[in-house]
Amino acid sequence: MKRYFRELSVLGALAAVLVGMAIFAPAFFSPQPLLSLLTREAPTLVVACGMACVIITRQIDISVGSMFSVCSVCAGLLAARGWPLLLVLPASVALGALLGAVNGLLVAGLRLPSIVVTLATMVTLRQGLNLVRQGEFVNLPDRIQWFGLSQMAGQLVLVGASVVFLVALALAMRHVAAGRFVYAVGTDAEAARLAGIRPQLVTFLVFIFIGALTGLAAMMNLAQSPQVQPLSGAGLELKVIAAVVVGGVAISGGRGNLWGAFTGLLLLACVSPALIHLHIEAYWEKAIQGAIILLAVVADGLRARGLNR
Amino acid sequence: MSVSPGTKNPRDWKALLTRHEMLLLYVLIAEWLFFYFAGTTTNRRGVVVGFGTLDRQFDILRHSCEIGLLALALTPVIITAGIDLSIGSLLGLCAILFGKLWHDGGLTIPVAAGLTLALGALAGGINASLITALRLPPLIVTLGTYSLFRGLAEAITHGAITYTDFPASFLFVGQERWLGLPTQAWVFLGVALGVGLLVHRTTFGRAFRTIGFSPEGARYAGLPVARRLALVYVLAGLIAAIAAIIYTARLGQAKADAGTGYELFAITAVVLGGTSIFGGTGSVHGTLLGVAAIAVLKNGLACLPVVMRMNAAEEMSGLLTGALLLLALTASVLPKILSRFRTRHHAPAL
Amino acid sequence: MSPAPLLALRQLVKNYGGVRALRGVDFDLQAGEVHALLGENGAGKSTLIKVITGAHQPNGGTLTLAGQRVANLTPSTARALGIACIYQQPALFPDLTVAENLALRLEATSASSRIDWPARRARAEQWLARLGAEISPEAEVRSLSMPEQQLVEIACALGAGARIVIMDEPTASLTQKEQRLLFAVVRDLRKNGVGVIYISHRLEEIFALADRVTVLRDGQSVGTHAVGDIDEAGLIRLMVGREVAQIYPAAESTPGHRVALSLRAVGCRASGVHNVSFEVRSGEIFGLGGLVGAGRTELARILFGLTPADSGEITLHGQRLTLRSPQAAVAQGIAYVPEDRRRHGVVLELPIAHNLTMAIHRRFFPTTWLRFGAERALALDFIRDLAVKCAGPDAPGGSLSGGNQQKVSLARWLATKPKLLILDEPTQGVDVGAKSEIHKIIRRLAKEGLAVILISSDLPEVIGMSDRIGVMGGGTLRAILPGGSAPHDVMAAALGTTEKGSV
């Protein structure tokens, strides 16, 4: 119990918000809007899982938003050319992995700070995309949206897939050696090296991993609309980092888990519908997001001080 | 302005730094010459237009003031091995606060400006207190305030309101010339001189460097580490507020998305200027050269006929700036990596 | 003994940049032997361990394991070859549980293998039980005390089925009961044919536990003896390498009668120091002896405001002080030359001149403007005065040798014109020449009336340099002896009457 205090407290906060909504805005719980909300968050959840791994290794990747846009547009163009879904999906994942590998190479190979590296790749990718596409939308063939299923079925597939993925990865992080290597490197890279783990390799692979997941998430987003917006990934990085940090993954590495990240994401996802239902203007969303991030870090900071005393 | 006079040993790190800045200067000159020849044309009426005109040069100066100010704000921060991602958002927030104080608060321009500067310093103080009192990593704290400050600006304006109709006397600061130079350039140069003196000529700057190289070493030398770090972030907030006022004066309007993405250009300018992202080394004159290199690139591209046809100056300059930052970063660690390889190569086999 | 030793080192050399940490070490370890490694701090023991465990590559010499010469030893091959090390500072993963820490060290798992948590827990329980340690396998390591972490380290080594176990100061932070358990474990290992390299400053332990002892001095092995063939005095002679009386400058004056520093029942719960009382007079060198972990550095940190005292009273020249930060301590005229010179004493990247004025910014630059000319002149003065060997005041601190770095660190604090100077291991890792120069400087400062506290693990140094010797142990002052006391008396006091004979 004590070990998961941090995750449980986020769960408590989420429960409080949900109870509050049940009392003041029961309309929130009608099935269709709720399913839509979950569907919208499904791609974010996939990226958040990757971000949790990156932050557990004591790195950060703020280029996910741009990678997401690039993968979306490229996948959309392939689909528009008539590629079958079964080929577009791996292509998008592979492109994401490739972009992630560039970050990984710079961070792990040259030992540059990940924040600056991914800031640079974020802008390079975003502007590169703008340059090539000039903000043009990509129209998708019909069979792509909801994978050619009904909307309801498509939504269920997406939500189901993301939850299955979450559970699989969360279990893998706990029960497969590779997952524990990620924790070991984030806790103490030097001790990991002494234990025979190669920290730079783990870091490199984690960046490839988040890239691939971003490619996957782009596909999951693609299936939700008839068009691809070139700016679809803008701000994704912040949302995802906020979810992960709020969920108790320590920015100093080695601590936290995917269940926490998931709870954090749900909590943040409730902010904007809660604002609407509680008649607070939606312009506050970003400010509230920032405040929640700060609150979470401050809580962690205070807690760390308490532990060291 | 050199770091310290009397450098004789050529292998000194200071000499190395100078070499980096000299290199950047050559690049800047080459860049300028390229755009001068490729970006200057004569139009049908026989008038010279494009990059080579004096007006255009003043334009470059005018447009580089805000990013330049943010880069100046970041230089001491990065010298202490910190980072401040929130300054671009803070620029937006301060612009809105300034507009609101003047427009809705009914204050005069100087009073509103003064209050805005105080609020900017206060916002920097939020970063400072979280970083020093709670010992939180600057990266995540300023990522939080990056979102918070921009969000507050959007909340205040409901994402839509822009403040306009500023008096001409105020717009003079942003749109006219004074003593031959764009007015805001004088502010920029003044801040540059101030930060330059602070970093290179005072005990404060010495403390920043010491903290950047070794925070523990600074503590054991009895330096007030927390106070010096706090100063750096408060100063960054103050300078972001100055940039906000200048931005408002240049565009004649205050809006919530002011300064979006500026933090990247500022960080690029600082790193390009030879300030190490790992802390300790760095100089204000290097930052100025970095700012100039980016500003010339951005404006020069807009003058190239190819780019003009594509109507993609903004994207091109963003792309090149990102690539430039990656190159500068790679170049900055290259000597370390090369020496690692060399020592490995020369180590006798066991 | 058997012809093929478990481990044999011949003429091992290791350089760090310009520093020669090992300059020719011969060492061998037989199966079923406890081989003690002895040497002053900085003699090269830690470096030797790093080479044996594959953490660092040597620059020369040979390393032979069970008759097979090994090149390019890495941490993982070292582990696979049965070498395990219990570090002085446990190299554990603080965020992970005890069970996982054990597993990461013990399981040579491939990245794709599945983790059997119940088995991990059971095995951790088993090894901890064998050590008699009452630690839950589910506990996060960061929540454990130091000795508990140490026991986890030992459990790691045991679990690895190591043939060679290196123990670096294993008892430094253990309680008596835990120590006794540890010794039982070591004897158990020996019986099972494991070779143990046992590093300790506690000579009693070595005589009680070891079969042979090798002494390192200045990065060289200077002799290997069976413990029965040598006594304490002989070992100390080997460690020091010369007669005590020859190397320490004689006191030229007697300390005055004016009390400079006075401590009454000073304590600090956070750092484990309690009830320390003593006085230091002007012109006196007050030595602080004791074993590693006795609380000497912790006491110095209290006096320098790094970990403020929470009980007792500190007065300096009759004035009562509250020292809540280093700045406050500096303002009161207290100077602290720290133990870890490279991390705390000198900022390696900054020029000597900058390092020198670091603690006197306020006084030397009253207007906050830097005065480069004056700074340079001051640096040149100190460089000449303390005979610092360097390229000039602009040379970065990192370009100097250890001894010269130490002089710069010392000069920084002399520039503050302190009333009290605390020196923490001032000659650790310093070559012989610089060492005697530093000793002369300390003498001279005392003669000029400065009150000096000299912390040193180098027994002959404390004895030879101090006017009086305070001996610490277990976080408190155990005895105050006159200068020139017999090493054995100091050692006995350091071990304390309660701990004596427990070995």
Contacts of A134 in chain B (CB under 8 A): 311-312
Please give the distance of CA A237 from its chain centroid, rounded to a whole number.
7
- Which residues of chain B does A305 touch, with a Cβ-Cβ cutoff of 8 Å? 134-135
Q: How many residues in chain C?
A: 503
**In this complex, do A131 and B321 lie within 8 Å of one another by their Cβ atoms?**
no
Tell me if B119 sits within 8 A of B252, measured CB to CB: no
Domain boundaries, chain C: 7-244, 281-499
Q: Are A46 and A162 in contact (CB under 8 A)?
A: yes
Average pLDDT over residues A137-157: 86
Condensed to tens digits (0 to 9), the pLDDT of residues C118-132 reads 999 998 998 888 777
Residues of C in contact with A197 (CB under 8 A): 104
Residue C138: Cβ within 10 Å count: 14
Q: How far is A154 from chain B (nearest CA, A)?
A: 33
Q: Which of A94-98, A167-171, A228-232, C452-456 has the lowest mean pLDDT?
A: A228-232
A175 touches chain C (CB under 8 A): yes
- Tokens coding A181: 């290597």
* pLDDT value for C243: 47
The single-letter DSSP state of residue C88 is S
Yes or no: domain B49-330 corresponds to CATH 1.10.357: no
> What's the confidence (pLDDT) of residue B187?
96
d(CA C226, CA C198): 14
CB contact (8 A) between residue C75 and residue A184:
no
> Which residues are within 8 A (CB) of A172 and not within 5 positions of it... i.e. 6 or more apart?
A178, A179
Yes or no, beta carbons of C112 and A178 under 8 Å apart: yes
Nearest-CA distance from C343 to chain A in Å?
18
pLDDT score of C71 more than 60: yes
Asked whether residue A298 carries a pLDDT value surpassing 70, the answer given is yes
Per-residue pLDDT at C107 exceeds 50: yes
Write down the ipTM of this complex: 0.85
Would you call C94 and A178 a contact, using CB atoms and an 8 Å cutoff? no
Cβ neighbours of A26 (radius 10 Å): 10
Measured between CB atoms, which of A3, A191, A193 is closest to C92? Answer: A191
Q: Is the pLDDT of residue B170 over 60?
A: yes
The DSSP code for A283 is: G
Restricting to B residues 278-297, those with a Cβ less than 8 Å away from any Cβ of C are 280-281
Quickly tell me which residue has 């528009």 as its tokens: A80
Tell me whether residues A176 and C113 touch, CB distance under 8 A.
Answer: yes
Distance CA C39, CA B136 (A): 41
Query: Choosing among A6, A194, A303, which should be mutated to test the C contact, i.e. which has the most C CBs within 10 A?
Result: A194
Complete edge-to-edge strand list for the sheet that includes strand C68-69 = C19-29, C7-16, C60-65, C68-69
Instruction: Write the burial class of residue A1 (CB in 10 Å: 0-12 exposed, 13-18 middle, 19+ buried).
Output: exposed
In C174-330, beta strands by DSSP E: 195-199, 212-217, 220-226, 259-268, 273-281, 285-290, 311-316, 319-321
Whether A194 shows a pLDDT value over 80: the answer reads no
* Mean per-residue pLDDT, A219-247: 89
User: What's the whole-model pTM score?
Assistant: 0.85
Any B CB within 8 A of A120 CB: yes
What are the tokens at A245?
């940090």
C-alpha C277/C-alpha C265 separation (Å) is: 5
DSSP-assigned beta bridge partners for residue C287: C454, C469
The pLDDT value recorded for residue C285 is 95
What pLDDT shows up at residue A272?
79
Does the beta-carbon distance from A193 to C75 stay under 8 Å?
yes
Chain B contact for C336 (CB, 8 A cutoff): yes
| SS3 labels along B182-223 | EHHHHHHHHHHHHHHHHHHHEHHHHHHHHHHHCHHHHHHCCC
Backbone phi, then psi, for C68, in 5-degree steps?
A: -110, 125
pLDDT at B73: 97
Average the pLDDT over C203-232 and give the result: 87
Q: What is the mean pLDDT of chain B?
A: 88
Q: What is the 3-state secondary structure (H, E, C) of chain B?
A: CCCCCCCCCCCCHHHHHHHHHHHHHHHHHHHHHHHHHHCEEECCCCCEEECCCHHHHHHHHHHHHHHHHHHHHHHHHHHCCCCCCCHHHHHHHHHHHHHHHHHCCCCCHHHHHHHHHHHHHHHHHHHHHHHHHCCCCHHHHHHHHHHHHHHHHHHHHCCCCCECCCCHHHHHHHHCEECCEEHHHHHHHHHHHHHHHHHHHEHHHHHHHHHHHCHHHHHHCCCCHHHHHHHHHHHHHHHHHHHHHHHHHHHCCECCCCCCCHHHHHHHHHHHCCCCCCCCCCCHHHHHHHHHHHHHHHHHHHHCHHHHHHCCHHHHHHHHHHHHHHHHHHHHHHHHHHHHHHHHHHCCCC
Count interface pairs B-C at CB distance under 8 A: 104
Beta bridge partners of C15: C20
Q: Is the pLDDT of residue C387 over 60?
A: yes
Query: Does the structure show a pLDDT above 90 at B290?
Result: yes
Distance, in Å, from the CA atom of C152 to the CA atom of C102, rounded to the nearest integer, reads 7
pLDDT category at A141 given cuts 50, 70, 90 is confident
Amino acid identity, position A284? W
The reply to whether residue B158 touches residue A134, judged by beta carbons under 8 angstroms, is no
Strand pairing partners for C422? C336, C453
Highest mean pLDDT (candidates A123-137, B107-121, C189-203) = B107-121
Q: Which residue has the higher pLDDT, A178 or A234?
A: A178
Confidence of residue A122 (pLDDT cuts 50, 70, 90): very high
> Which residues from chain B sit within 8 angstroms of residue C348, using beta carbons?
213-214
pLDDT for residue A309: 43
The answer to whether residue B152 scores a pLDDT higher than 90 is yes
**Chain B contact for C73 (CB, 8 A cutoff):** yes
- Rounded Cα distance between C212 and B140, Å, is 54
Average pLDDT of the residues of chain C: 85
Give the CA distances from residue B206 to residues A236, B203, B210, B241, B283, in Å, rounded to whole numbers and listed in that order: 39, 5, 6, 25, 12
Check residues B253 and C238 and name the one with the higher pLDDT: B253
Sequence ranges of the domains in chain B: 49-330
C93: nearest CB among A176, A184, A309:
A184
Residue B347 has pLDDT above 60, yes or no: no
Separation CA A208–CA B74 (nearest Å): 31
Higher pLDDT, C50 or C264: C264
Q: How confident is the model at residue B3 (pLDDT cuts 50, 70, 90)?
A: very low
| pLDDT score recorded for residue A140 | 87
Average pLDDT over residues C302-323: 94
| CATH fold for the domain made of C7-244 | Rossmann fold (3.40.50)
Asked if residue C151 has pLDDT above 60, the reply is yes
- The residue with greater pLDDT, B260 or C18, is B260
pLDDT of residue C497: 44
Instruction: Find chain B residues with C-beta within 8 A of C59's C-beta.
Output: 347-348
CATH topology of domain C281-499: Rossmann fold (3.40.50)
Tell whether C60 is within 8 A of chain B (Cβ).
yes
Give the domains, in start order, of chain A with CATH numbers: 6-22+31-304 (1.10.3470)
Looking at per-residue pLDDT, the higher value among B222 and C430 belongs to B222
Query: Can you give the pLDDT at residue B2?
Result: 34
How far is Cα B301 from Cα B39, in angstroms, rounded to an integer?
8
Dihedral sign, Cα of residue C118, residue C121, residue C124, residue C126? negative
Cα C36 to Cα C195: distance, rounded to the nearest angstrom: 11
Q: Report yes or no: C193 at the B interface, CB cutoff 8 Å.
A: no
